[in-house]
Amino acid sequence: MLHVVGDKFVTFSNENPGVMTVSNLEKLLEKNAVHRPHALIVGQGVSLERLGLLEERIQRSAARSLVTIQEARIRDRCPGKYTHKHFNYNTIITTPYKDEAADLYRCHLVLDDDCAEMSDHVTGHHLQGVVFFEASRQMLLAATERFWLEQIGRPYYFVLNEYNITYHTFGFPLPTDITMKVLAERGDTRQSGSVFLDIKVEFFQVGVPITECVIKYAAFDKALLSAREGLLSRMALVKHSPSLSPINEVDA
């Protein structure tokens, strides 16, 4: 078994047996230097596009009968409509599904070397703390959109009220499982169709919990919250600069 990671995790690759960057694997295939069977776990940092190129290179190489892709979770990257991302490389989770038996929602971490969280200060060894923050945020967005809001059929805004993260140990560019458990679903006292949830999102590698997030948030009808947001922004501006006169759109 060989773990294939993105090029930004070169330090992790160099210091650990059984791990190789995608670029180094491609070079070996080009040189016909693969002489024994390898079952590939295509992991963190490898984009869907790079996976496609790797598959093409394997098929063209003399080692095509020796190299198989055993796992590539990036194939199930969550659609951007659920994670609220315009660029696919910035979605870093797979599509959440509901585990009825465990009363949990599950997905997996699928980092792309080009994602925003990997754009700066990457050690090349462990995963940055901001990765877990963003992945947990995407998990709550995607699970709520898919299992609470999709059937309603109108756009919602999300408001984060409280976010507490505990890092238990380092996370590395290995297969990472994510769970989301609903701790409480608070009632909508105004009957506005809003959703109020308290959740716990946990990250696991080889069954060991590495990070957990306890989050309180709400999803509001977009039309209702937009009006409220606009009012609050104008109030904030007036407080900051009392001498300013309100400008209407018709005056612009």
| One-character DSSP codes across 182-246 | EEEEE--TT-SS-EEEEEEEEEEETTEEEEEEEEEEEEEEHHHHHHHHHHHHHHHHHHH-TTPPP
Q: What is the pLDDT of residues 23-50, one digit of tens each?
A: 999 999 999 999 999 999 999 999 999 9
List helix spans (H) across the chain: 10-15, 22-30, 48-60, 80-83, 129-144, 222-240
Backbone angles phi, psi at 204, to 5 degrees: -130, 140
Q: What is the spatial distance between Cα 1 and Cα 19, in angstroms, rounded to a whole number?
A: 9
- Confidence bin at 214 (pLDDT 50/70/90): very high
Q: What is the spatial distance between Cα 99 and Cα 204, in angstroms, rounded to a whole number?
A: 16
Q: Give me the pLDDT at residue 105, please.
A: 98
Q: What is the spatial distance between Cα 236 and Cα 143, in angstroms, rounded to a whole number?
A: 33
Q: What is the pLDDT of residues 101-132, one digit of tens each?
A: 999 999 999 999 999 998 876 776 889 999 99
- Averaged pLDDT, 145-153: 90
Q: Does residue 186 have a pLDDT over 90?
A: no
